[in-house]
Structure 1
Amino acid sequence: MILLGFSTATLAQAPLDLPSSFVIEADKASYADIADLVVISPLIVDVTVRKVRKLPTEQAAGVPTSLERVLVEADVMALIRGEGGITPRVRFLLDIPKNAKGKIPKIEKQRMYLFGRQVAGRPGEVQLARPNALALFSANNDALVRAITKEAVQVNAARRIASVSSAFHSAGTVLGEGETQIFVKTDNDQPLSLTILSRPGQQKIWAVSTAEVIDASATAPQRFTLLWYRLACGLPRALPADRVEGASKADTARAQADYSFVIESLGPCGRNR
């Protein structure tokens, strides 16, 4: 895995007449929008567009009339993520939305991030992870891309949540005391559990553990980290009653209330795309 540093100094870019659904803007990116692309992209490259060439109709079969398929050549400013390096110049196909006049904006000289993968056996060719897997360069976007990538490449990086597998609530010895444990299934069966503690006269607290044995020193995740993103964007909004094991109606209700407390504490996912 390669993470290269570079100066963030750059010329101011002219605003593009493109919807934010197509490219993440320089000054309005959310953590979730960037993370959505980082976690699915084995290649992340900071580039400056050098040349854009419209493709003939026969090479753009199936492209909606609202889009223009082009071949983009770009100079690599930095390789953020990728195995085996990257060529100094890359090429990629892009379907650009047309404006009201049927024209596409000029993106030459624009600095942006590409999220995708290298095409096997074709050095310098990049396939975008999604048709809109682009983000304009800015100091804010640079910080987000690098911070999220640094977490995502770790061996124990938080993984995509598949479902809530089970939960149970244990009442305490005094009124108002109790503990709820919720076990979460991830796409690679990484251990993940939530613990919510209630004590009379004290504020309810919760923590997340990523170990096989629940860590007594675990805490709630810091906002705008990869673990926070996985939880805030991946957990269902409510705890299904059938996931609460061997509980009375009262205990099920407590477990569901504790789960709602976690969701409220995490706050909105913040995904805009």
Structure 2
Amino acid sequence: MNRTFPAIFYCAIALTASLGAAAKPQQMQAQTGPVLPSYATLARQVTSAPLIIDARIRKADRLKAEESPGLAPGMTRFLVEADVSALIRGTQAMASRITYTADVPLNAKGKPPKLAKQRVLLFARTVPGRPAMVQLTGLQSQMNWLPELDAQVRAITRDALAADAPPAITGVGNAFHVPGSLPGEGETQVFLQTASGAPVSLQILRRPGETTRWSVSLGDIVDESAGAPRANTFLWYRLACGLPRTLPAEAVESDDAQNAAKAREDYQFVLRSLGQCA
């Protein structure tokens, strides 16, 4: 049977192809319990998706190779029709039934999964002029629904949309180290650049006989008592996934080589404390 797809469908295919070229199969769930994507993965999905949809797949038609340009090895592409159960993120009116294309991994036997009737979380954007069609925003943008996953996504969404949410880090403005009066004593301050222009700064304190500690301040007032963010929080995500891996040379404000070296050392201490952006 020949099928005719609207022009916007091929636009959706082009977007999916560009994102799917580097796709990797999703991690399988362990038999001992659900294995959720990392906090950083979910936070990245939440911050990049204007729409987060709780939906149940009504039907899924597997597309032919000629209808799936740029498909990554080990993946297959579906045209999916799903019923919307809830809109977790999004302000505009949403159709009760939507369509989209999705690249999903083949199983161990090279067979496509059965998507019909599955409950999923979708990270998507609208298609102009097509209220009943959405485009997934990137890799892992269709996830099988789990209560633990739903709770985590909703919590991250609340944190990301809060009025006092930490802004995205875009770079380092300037950094300097001031030595103290005692050997080994000193303080480094690093002022960050943000997407919103809101001030964010880091303070690293060294005192003889004490463990080096650091804090982050959100606002114009430096608050050394604020402390470092807990792992797997939204502020942690902004720093761990937004800070450059090295302190830019042009950001270090010091004519003293030793003080400049201390500033770089303290910056690396912060990165090690944060850990990897998984």
- Class of the TM-score when normalised by the shorter of the 2 chains: 0.7 to 0.9
Task: Output the amino acid matched with 1:35.
Answer: A
C-alpha RMSD of matched pairs (Å): 2.4
3-state SS in 2 of match to 1:124: strand
Q: 1:24 to 1:141 in 2, by over 3 A?
A: farther
- Retained in 2: the 8 A contact 1:232–1:266? yes
- Shift, 1:140, TM fit: 2.4
Q: 1:244 to 1:63 in 2, by over 3 A?
A: closer
Q: Residue in 2 aligned with 1:235? A: 243
Aligned partners of 1:175 and 1:244: how far apart in 2? 22
Aligned partners of 2:251 and 2:216: how far apart in 1? 18
Q: 1:210 to 1:77 in 2, by over 3 A?
A: same
* TM-score normalised by length of structure 1: 0.82
Aligned partners of 2:148 and 2:135: how far apart in 1? 25
Which of 192, 196, 206 is matched with 1:198 structurally? 206
Q: Residue in 1 aligned with 2:7? A: none
Q: Residue in 1 aligned with 2:121? A: 113
Q: Residue in 1 aligned with 2:130? A: 122
Task: Output the amino acid matched with 2:69.
Answer: G
Q: How does 1:123-272 map to 2 (within 5 A)?
A: 123-270=131-278
**Percent sequence identity over matched residues?**
45
Give CA deviations for 1:142-168 in whole Å, capped at 9, x if unaligned: 222011100111233223222122100
- Retained in 1: the 8 A contact 2:201–2:217? yes
Are 2:112 and 1:104 aligned? Answer: yes
Q: Residue in 2 aligned with 1:3? A: none
- Shift, 1:20, TM fit: 8.5
Q: 1:22 to 1:212 in 2, by over 3 A?
A: farther
Moved more, 239-248 or 165-174: 239-248
- Shift, 1:57, TM fit: 6.3
- Shift, 1:51, TM fit: 0.4
Aligned partners of 1:61 and 1:54: how far apart in 2? 10
3-state SS in 1 of match to 2:79: strand
Q: Where in structure 2 are there 5+ consecutive unaligned residues?
A: 1-21, 29-33
Q: Residue in 2 aligned with 1:38? A: 46
3-state SS in 1 of match to 2:43: helix
Aligned partners of 2:173 and 2:189: how far apart in 1? 11
- Shift, 1:49, TM fit: 1.3
- Retained in 2: the 8 A contact 1:24–1:136? no
Q: Residue in 2 aligned with 1:62? A: 69
Aligned partners of 2:264 and 2:115: how far apart in 1? 49
- Shift, 1:61, TM fit: 5.8
Q: Residue in 1 aligned with 2:55? A: 47
- Shift, 1:82, TM fit: 0.6
Aligned partners of 2:97 and 2:143: how far apart in 1? 18
- Shift, 1:245, TM fit: 0.4
- Retained in 1: the 8 A contact 2:216–2:224? no
Moved more, 110-119 or 212-221: 212-221
- Retained in 2: the 8 A contact 1:158–1:226? yes
Are 2:24 and 1:21 aligned? Answer: yes
Q: Where in structure 1 are there 5+ consecutive unaligned residues?
A: 1-18
Q: 1:96 to 1:29 in 2, by over 3 A?
A: closer
Q: How does 1:88-103 map to 2 (within 5 A)?
A: 88-98=96-106, 103=111
